[in-house]
Structure 1
Amino acid sequence: MTSLQHAAREVERSLAPARARDVVGAYLALTKPRIIELLLVTTIPAMFLAAGGVPDLGLVLVTLLAGALAAASANAFNCVLDRDIDELMRRTRRRPLPRHQVGTAAAVVFASLLGVASTVVFLVAVNWLSAVLALAANAFYVFVYTMWLKRRFSQNIVWGGIAGCFPPLIGWTAVTGELSWAPWVLFAIVFFWTPPHTWALAIRYRADYAAAGVPMLPVVLPAPGVTIRILAYSVLTVAVSLLLWPVAGTGWLYPVVAAVLGAAFLVEAVRLHLRAKAGLVDTELKPMRLFHWSNSYLALLFIAAAVDPLLR
């Protein structure tokens, strides 16, 4: 072997781990891990609330695994179906499919295997009701939101966001095997929270959505019209969050935390609307302040719901 051939072999060996990491990273990116994290944040507290304390930790882990697989499957299918518009948007053009890091057929197989694995884990280790709810959430996200609502209606996220409301139902049924009013209140909290959260992001990337032909509300409506709706949904979110207190019979911690967090959420929504009324647009509106705060709001609210039964 010549020295040149030997050097080429050494270079090839050194690149192999990097290529493997790139492939794994590309498939992981298809699952949108940040979205999965947010969904799981609403699953665990529902399990604590349903158990009236600490649920079986083995059940928690297997439910999180199955839920993560289900969400990963739905997100991967979303990447496949949205690959054309993702290529047109600055925020999404670096996803694996627009960059041709993963083939379309391979992504479909990957998403399908994740969905099958999720259903098997739910059926074997949790229960059939949780499995059905997870399948319903995925079907709604892929077929109703991604394939129908997203590209046709300005209220797409209002109804499409229903898919993201299922994790509290799944967490509750994993523990109890049945549904009751409390998990539906948790469902409603996420439902009313989703439009302010998403529209704040859509304001920031309004030009991207417009270029891709996606009729998000900030694309079709002036900023003050969007922000007043953000404020209205924020009020509904806070009101419904306080409803959990009597419905679930929580202790003192949850309503106190819900009231404080809700007040802060409404202050930020009011500030955003006032900036819009003053004539500021796009990034000048600072919509990402509300977007990031909405993430913290939901996480802290659900953590309070999980901790509350531990104090009783």
Structure 2
Amino acid sequence: MTDAIVVEGAHKTYGRKKALNGLDLRVERGTVHGVLGPNGAGKTTAVRMLATLLRPDAGRVEVAGHDARRSPDEVRRRIGLLGQHAAVDEELSGRQNLDMFARLHHIGARHARVRADELLERFGLADTGRKAVKQYSGGMRRRLDLAASLVTDPEVLFLDEPTTGLDPRGRAEVWDSVRSLVGGGTTVLLTTQYLEEADQLADRMSVIDEGHVVAEGTADALKAKLGGDRIDVVVRDAAQLARAAAVLPPGATVDPDRRMASAPVTDRMEALTAVVRGLRDAGIDAEDVALRRPTLDEVFLSLTERTKEPV
């Protein structure tokens, strides 16, 4: 499978601020690639560079087989971009918005109308296509925004924090739409601060901080960096927390605020059986005992904290 996006050693500086500092990134065709990072990490700068809205100061940037510095027009013909803020006109209907975007891309009137109807149907908006967008819910507006970014049927789609501000239902609607796009062969680069979103959608992820990649891989591979499975014990009486930690395998940590002791484990069921038996024998009153994988939130915080220099 060939790469739809290739970035090698990209740099971008604003004054003394290094927004990108040797960014390397590869995205396979027909996949969703998540880009995660704290505020100011360089996510939006990277998207703007890939979409030819910014020129890198140095490095190789290739999108859909074309060099973004030397052939920006060729890249623009093959991409779509959904920014953080809605671009649709609330006074126009959904169909009128899509027709307008098609005309802006120099699509003829007849083809523009056909394309608008296709996209409304595809994103479950056919019944509301004649309504003004100001009557749409947040999820419906974002789906319309996503539809507008697809009027040219792009090979590569950039989604820059696409569900910011949406409620859980609206986010789920956008997620379903993204999954259907990838099923049709579109390559998606997704930047997000919602770790659950990346876990749900991305085939692979790159964690960036201070303008460069600090880790990449599948969600499971990134979670494995924190040591695989863990066992958590929540006690009813905080005074028993230290004793509960002593029952756990080596490497146990305690969280007094949550009355929880936690430790890494290798053999899941054997460890669980041993801990439950140990708690009972020690007379410790446990409120909950659970096996779990590290969350993507824990991976994210661990990886980005490691890149900070001590003060």
Q: TM-score, normalised by structure 2?
A: 0.25
Greater fraction of residues in strand: 2
Structure number, greater radius of gyration: 2
Greater fraction of residues in helix: 1
Q: TM-score, normalised by structure 1?
A: 0.25
